[in-house]
Chain A
Amino acid sequence: MARDYRLAEHLPNLRPDRQPASPDELPRQRNGVTPQMHSRYPDYNVLDEADHWDEVTRRTVLERLEKVPEIRFFTREEAATLGAFCDVLLAQDREPKIPVLNMIDAKLFAGELDGFHFADLPDDRETWRRVAAGLDAAAVQHGSIEFAGASPEIQERVVNAFAEGELHGQVWDELPPSRAWKVVTRGALSAFYSHPWAWNEIGFGGPAYPRGYARMGVGQRESWEGAAAFERDPVKDTKRRGVQGT
């Protein structure tokens, strides 16, 4: 079903249940990869532009694709729980997935912290470990054996309670959930939206040195930036792209 993105009807705040429609209604990515292959810009692949980036930036970004670090900081059990948590938090319900937990693990393993921790929390490394234990404990409260193996409904309920700061008992009595939520979401979002697959999904122009940007007006884009899927006429577009219509 086509959507008109000039309207804002797809946005959760404006929908009765504050939830979006299924992303399966979106086109599949045709050029390059997006997480789960959902896309608004199906023919735009930011990596096509990598030759235009300066060398240091190119290395930094491409390493995220080419070198997926092994899990070294978390235990196998913690990694299972937190991997499942990151999947729910970022709605990564199938491949291809951005390896968010591996990216977080690498930072924590290397001791690359963010420069502060809340006085009522331990440092970020210990906070992540306790969140793993806390998520399992919360899943047990909901009648499951652990978080990773819980049903999607229970996982969603636990994450929702975490987001609302409404987790109680055991670990959570000593780990204020609303502060811990800030720590883990900061880590997860920084990993996910630093990945070029996520840039494809949202149509972000990406690194622009030394080329820069020149078209900054309303509704304008650079010649190499992607068009949103429904800005184009599907009939003319198949002709333009040389695709045989039926």
Chain B
Amino acid sequence: MSRRHELRTLLRGALRPPENDSAFLLDVHRRAVPQERMARYDDSYPVDLVIVGAGAGGATLAQRLARRGWKVVVLDAGPFWDPDADWVSDEAGAHKLYWTEERVTGGTDPVELGKNNSGRGVGGSMVHYAGYCPRFHPSDFEVHTRDGVGEDWPISYSDLKSHYERLELELPVSGEYWPWGDPHRYPHTPHPIAGGADAARGGARKLGIEMKVGPVGITNGSFGNRPHCIYRGFCLQGCKVNAKASPLVTHIPDAIEHGAEIRADCMVSRVELDESSGRVTGVRYLRDGRERIQRADAVVVAGYSIETPRLLLNSTSARFPHGLANHNDQVGRCVMVQGAPQVAGRFPDEMRMYKAPPPEISSEQFYETDERRGFARGFSIQTVGPLPIEHAQHVIGHGHWGRALREYMRDYNHWYTLGILSELLPHPENRVTVTSEVTDQHGLPVARMDYSQSENDRKNIAFAKQTLHDIFEAAGAQDVLETERYAHLVGGCRMGSDPERSVVDADHRCWEVPNLFIADGSVMPTQGSANPALTIMALASRLAERLDLKRSGDSEAARRSRRSRGRRRVPTRAGGG
């Protein structure tokens, strides 16, 4: 695979990705995903698989298994977005892209949720992620063995490698040759970078820090019926162009074409359990104010690190009084965020950092443990390009308000901003629970997330932040502003090889429920300092392979009967591009 993949990347965007026609199934003149031909299953019909959540994990899994003939229904709490009609080129107007239902956040270092890390609707948080698509490093899968901290994964980098390669073709990912981790090329050439990124790269280079362009899931050149990026800078507000990759445009169209149903605006309230057999039978959900049950042979929860534990914890029964698959009190534990302080630097010339996608260049030079730094594991450096509201939060985070805030904001065009992703370690006390004191609009108990940093975490963040100051000083910045924040969410239902210390096994199957799976970022035992999106997709892609392998062990008769039950079709609308 790898040698062929190498050759393939030399051809850049000239070849279609294998077994995924999404980019060609989109309409040339509208951004919305065509839904006219989508299958509609009856609630009472037991589909092969019901997936909760149409984000990076759920959508990728649905596409893979629909292609293999599985009958799949994906439920999402939010809408089926139409980028033309629903999204705006406007910071405040993007509010509805986020999970804005109430949640409680506690601990000594509480994490602000909402717009920074939580999505809602078909496409999930990747609708409003920046677009960075780095792989994890091989070391990430054996952190405990190598560095004596965190946890080892029950799988290794080599289990995901072919899935990374395939996804990089599907998104597609553009960037320079990647020298860190497992070195590799990208299928699309690097995007041009703006003046600010160039200045920051120059500063870094003086210190011996290499920064590379990418890797971003943004087409460079048209890709199928997805056009070229127009560098408008509103990646975090939903890409109205369809240039930025999210499952909405990379996997949902192909899933629909192969018979999956994406059922939007459906809030799943619990996973249904057959008390006698201990197997799950489907999910209960709310649609248009009515309660329904979708039956299924197996259930996959892919609601991300807060909603996945919440759904399991809210699914109590006589067999599981403390929440589904939670006999060992592991559900919700070891939830993680990355430390993401930002430093902005001021330059004599105008940089106008609102132009170009926020993700321009990045460095993984500090990714691995270096004992001289005095802490385990590391961090990565990335550009962030904040728009006015975000930059104002940065200025006030530094301590300026009133006239000083206004003066700094009038100076907005002279600034450029770098951000950090620090690998913070898993801690069992960092956890998601449910609190019946606060309920959502449906009367369901909401999630509470508690988060506190360890000594290693604080040292990592402090060192990383200093590195940004050094880069800006070397780049000739006249003034700097810094602010503290977090980014991303993973963990909460981690995979492992010990049922006492994990929720799912290496095949994402809940230890305590044989036909219940988890397929989102919550299964990650550690998080590296890479953005998680690509790895969540790769995990789902691998899971699809494992599930289908398991199923092909079924008798041929069973398989035939499964196939004859459903509608089979051949993709015929592939065109354009």
Task: Give residues in A with beta carbon < 8 Å to B.
Answer: 5-8, 10-14, 18-20, 23, 26, 38, 40, 53-54, 56-57, 60-61, 88-91, 112-120, 123, 156, 159, 163, 182, 185-186, 189-194, 198-199, 201-221, 225, 228
Contact = CB atoms under 8 A, between A and B. Distances in A.
A32 B340 CA distance: 38
B235 to A, nearest CB: 12
Q: Which 3 residue pairs are nearest across A and B when measured between Cβ atoms?
A: A212-B230, A115-B114, A119-B106
A207 B233 CA distance: 9
B293 interface: no
Contact of A12 (B232, B350, B400): B400
A185 B231 CA distance: 30
B406 A6 contact: no
Contacts of A204: 354, 387-388, 412-413
B402 A189 contact: no
Interface string B468-506: 000000000011110000000000000000000000000
Contact of B407 (A10, A113, A185, A190): A10
30 contacts: A8-B346, A12-B404, A12-B407, A13-B480, A19-B403, A20-B404, A26-B410, A54-B89, A57-B89, A60-B93, A89-B402, A91-B402, A91-B403, A91-B405, A115-B98, A118-B110, A119-B106, A119-B450, A185-B393, A185-B396, A189-B392, A193-B388, A205-B354, A212-B230, A213-B231, A213-B232, A217-B198, A218-B350, A219-B350, A228-B413
Contact of B230 (A23, A194, A206, A208): A208
Contacts of A214: 231
B409 interface: yes
Contacts of A116: 102-105, 112-114
A5 B434 CA distance: 52
Given A8-B346, A20-B404, A91-B406, A57 B99 contact: no
A46 to B, nearest CB: 11
Chain B contact residues (Cβ within 8 angstroms of A): what range? 35 or more
A194 B232 contact: no
A8 B407 CA distance: 11
A193 B100 CA distance: 20
Contacts of A185: 393, 396, 401
Interface of B: 84-93, 95, 98-107, 110, 112-115, 118, 192-196, 198-199, 230-234, 240-241, 346-352, 354-356, 387-389, 392-393, 396, 399-414, 438, 448, 450, 478-481
Q: Is the interface of A mostly helix, strand, loop or mixed?
A: loop
Contacts of B392: 189, 192-193
B317 to A, nearest CB: 28
B413 A203 contact: yes
B115 A38 contact: no
A26 B412 CA distance: 16
A88 B402 contact: yes
Nearest to A189: B392
Contacts of B411: 5, 10-11, 40, 202
A91 B396 CA distance: 13
A113 B90 CA distance: 18
A115 B115 contact: yes
A246 to B, nearest CB: 28
Nearest to B395: A189
Q: Count chain A CB atoms within 10 A of each CB in B89, B241, B411 and give the residue with the most.
A: B89
B192 A57 contact: no
A45 to B, nearest CB: 16
Nearest to B100: A115
